[in-house]
Amino acid sequence: MKYLVPLLTVCLLAACTSRPTTSGISVEQASAQYQQQLKVDNPALGRKLAISDVKTRQTNQLTDVVVTLSSQYKKSQYLQYQFTWYDGDGFVIKGNHSPWQSLTLFGFANVQLPGLAPTSDAVTFSLAVREVSTQAQEFKD
């Protein structure tokens, strides 16, 4: 019992300070500079993909982003990606969450993933990439 309270406190603090993750990989922009840090939640996918470039520019007072995703794997991969935008204080811009976009990445190919900030308040972003199952799923009662 005496170890349970400290353990729960650590878990609660970790949950409050971390951003939601998805099963895959992601890259985040840190303040005004892009740190191409790769966050890997799925090690198998992390070995098959790499973020090779991040470019940004301002277009009509909106942040325009292109992230280059590179396949490190010989077979085609069926993926989805999603941009999340944050304001200057690091808060998620609510109601402007981009939907998951489908992507087929062929073996050893590169693809540019474009993203456009929904408002001029968007200062930073994160990009999440996840695998899509190619097997048919049955729903049973």
Query: Distance between the two ends of the chain, CA-based, in angstroms?
Result: 40
- What SS3 class is residue 75? coil
How distant, in Å, are the alpha carbons of 10, 49, 51, 134 from that of 129?
Answer: 28, 9, 10, 16
pLDDT digits (tens, 9 = 90+) for 54-89: 899 999 999 999 999 999 999 999 999 988 898 999
Cα torsion 19, 93, 34, 106: sign: positive
Backbone angles phi, psi at 94, to 5 degrees: -70, 145
Average pLDDT over the chain, rounded to an integer: 77
**pLDDT class for 134, splitting at 50, 70, 90?**
confident
Neighbour-count burial of 108, counting CB atoms closer than 10 A to its CB (0-12 exposed, 13-18 middle, 19+ buried): exposed
pLDDT digits (tens, 9 = 90+) for 93-123: 987 667 899 999 999 999 999 999 999 999 8
